């Protein structure tokens, strides 16, 4: 998939942090792409760490043949939900909250299928 550009930051790669000159001069804008695999009723990795305010692009691949989903547990964190039909890859973008904390996400269809997103500077 071609990468898109938001402001002057780059989407893709891992841990791009750029200082925007025209868009938001005083704010460091970071973006990161995180690959997640749903396989055998588990998310891998099960632990993810991002920076406060970071733009995160989740690329979630379901290698199982059946449906999973990806649902954030903390409404305030605003993690978008995804439906993941079998053998598909879905992408969603999320801006991490500015507050440090731990934000669980899970597949509501399969108990124990969860991952933890830690926001920490």
Point out which residues bind Cu ion (CB under 5 A): 68, 107, 109-110, 113
**In the complex, least distance from residue 111 CB atom to Cu ion, rounded to whole angstroms:** 9
**In the complex, least distance from residue 75 CB atom to Cu ion, rounded to whole angstroms:** 21
The C-alpha atoms of residue 31 and residue 18 are separated, in whole angstroms, by 9
**In the complex, least distance from residue 67 CB atom to Cu ion, rounded to whole angstroms:** 7
Q: Among residues 54 and 64, whose Cβ is nearest to Cu ion?
A: 64
Report the SS3 class of residue 75.
Answer: helix
Q: Among residues 16 and 114, whose Cβ is nearest to Cu ion?
A: 114
The C-alpha atoms of residue 9 and residue 22 are separated, in whole angstroms, by 11
**In the complex, least distance from residue 102 CB atom to Cu ion, rounded to whole angstroms:** 21
Peptide bond into 68 cis (omega under 30): no
The C-alpha atoms of residue 114 and residue 55 are separated, in whole angstroms, by 21
Q: Among residues 49 and 109, whose Cβ is nearest to Cu ion?
A: 109
Angle at 82 between CA 62 and CA 105, to 5 degrees: 90
Q: Among residues 25 and 111, whose Cβ is nearest to Cu ion?
A: 111
**Contact by Cβ (8 Å): 35, 22:** no
């Amino acid at each position: 998939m071609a990468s898109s550009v938001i402001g002057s930051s780059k989407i893709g790669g891992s841990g791009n942090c750029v200082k925007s000159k025209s868009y938001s001069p005083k704010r460091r804008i970071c973006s990161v792409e995180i690959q997640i695999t749903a396989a055998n009723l588990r998310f891998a990795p099960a632990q993810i760490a991002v920076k406060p305010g970071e733009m995160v692009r989740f690329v979630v691949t379901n290698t199982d043949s059946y449906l999973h989903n990806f649902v954030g547990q903390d409404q305030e964190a605003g993690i978008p939900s995804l439906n993941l039909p079998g053998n598909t890859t879905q992408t969603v973008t999320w801006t991490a909250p500015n507050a440090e904390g731990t934000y669980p996400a899970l597949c509501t269809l399969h108990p124990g299928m969860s991952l933890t997103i830690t926001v920490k500077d």
